[in-house]
Amino acid sequence: MAMAKWGQILIDSGHESDAKTTIWPLIKFDLEWVTENWDSTGCDLWEEVRSDDFFFNRMAFIYCLNAAADFADQIGESLGASYRSVADDVRAVITKHWNGNYLYESENRPDDGATIHAITTFSLDLYTPDSEEAAATIRYLVKAFCNEYPINQEDNDAGDPGILIGRYPNDSYAGGNPWQLLTAILAECFYAGATITRKKMETRGNYQLSSTENAQWMALLNLDAGATASDLAAAQVSAGDAVLTRLHNHVKADGGKIDEQIDKYTGKQASAENLTWSYANILHALHTRKGLSPDPPGPTTTTAKTTEGGPTNNPTDPTANPTDGPTDAPPQTCCSSVLFESTGAIGT
């Protein structure tokens, strides 16, 4: 993906020869492996467990194969059709990751923040950030991470909006805490959803939401019957602002330094210091936010109960393939609601 985008930058800046002779061989070399081995066993995003069906990996394959196909077409190479064909093969099997309740990461670790990262970073026209599957997955994981981290419960009791999320429930690495990069990607998912919602309004106008087609988003953001696309977009922006506000509250004392994790008990930054991935995800979320209205929406569309109900069945038996930590559902505690409520204009 990165090479295809860099190649496009070279073409746009008048360096098409470099794009063809330097960038294309690298893309072709990498994708020779992908086209032959995309369904083989490999590692998850966190390099901890092995499987042949990671949702994150498959979404990345689909996105990158299509990006490389477009690049190949542009420079007159013939492999574009082949790359798109393999992307279609991956697409045909990835739909099994929707279990009717949420999108699961893999059979041996179903509940994972990597799914939100994949939705936000790699969606084309499948499981986009505005989709019902995205809303259902956010709704499910928000409840899990609210129950998982005492700092979330403490912030909720104080009336603070937003949520901190991490890798997966019962994570044991470095204490198993919320991660800044995943919390930022959750905020970006809301912003990306709002961007798509507003794009739809350009052709459909301020359409009324459907209690069937938009049920998950209406439940996630507490939108009542009669709510419109404008209400949804405003609530999505507000939710993203709420998440970034909570994240900011836990890092603002460190002078702009962003680490890997936030201690689930103290709320202080922890683990790897100055993590590039954390900076990149926060900056990208803010970049996505920049194009949206900085005005916080009114209180009638911003308070959301996100943790009512929840999935009643798992995609598979999570004990079939052991992980580094238990995958039992977190205990039900005080997380009956999370406020997705804007408290300021993040985008200004």
Provide the percentage of residues in the chain whose pLDDT is more than 90: 82
Using the predicted structure, report yes or no on whether residue 135 has a pLDDT greater than 50.
Answer: yes
Using the predicted structure, report yes or no on whether residue 127 has a pLDDT greater than 90.
Answer: yes
Least confident of 72-81, 239-248, 284-293: 284-293
Which helix (H) or strand (E) is 82 found in, with range?
helix 80-94
How crowded is residue 185: how many other Cβ atoms within 10 Å of its Cβ?
25
Mean pLDDT of 86-92: 97
Structure-block tokens of residue 164: 């901190």
pLDDT (0 to 100) of residue 291? 80
Using the predicted structure, report yes or no on whether residue 155 has a pLDDT greater than 60.
Answer: yes
Which helix (H) or strand (E) is 37 found in, with range?
helix 24-37
Q: Which amino acid is at 252?
A: K
How crowded is residue 132: how many other Cβ atoms within 10 Å of its Cβ?
17
Using the predicted structure, report yes or no on whether residue 75 has a pLDDT greater than 70.
Answer: yes
166: number of CA atoms within 13 Å, CB side?
Answer: 26
Mean pLDDT of 309-328: 36
Mean pLDDT of 7-34: 95
What does the alpha-carbon distance between residue 115 and residue 119 come to, in Å, rounded to a whole number?
A: 6
Task: Report yes or no: 302 and 238 within 8 Å, Cβ to Cβ.
Answer: yes
pLDDT (0 to 100) of residue 310? 36
Which helix (H) or strand (E) is 148 found in, with range?
helix 132-148
Structure-block tokens of residue 321: 């393939």
pLDDT band at residue 294 using 50, 70 and 90 as cut-offs: low
pLDDT band at residue 295 using 50, 70 and 90 as cut-offs: low
Provide the sign of the torsion angle of the four alpha carbons 249, 252, 256, 259, taken in this order: negative
CA distances from 164 to 153, 155, 268, 316 (A): 10, 10, 12, 26
Least confident of 46-50, 67-71, 279-283, 327-331: 327-331
pTM of the model: 0.86
Task: Report yes or no: 3 and 26 within 8 Å, Cβ to Cβ.
Answer: yes
Question: Strand locations in the chain, DSSP E?
Answer: 42-43, 50-51, 261-262, 269-270
Provide the sign of the torsion angle of the four alpha carbons 165, 170, 173, 177, taken in this order: positive
User: Could you identify the residue written with the tokens 């680490």?
Assistant: 259
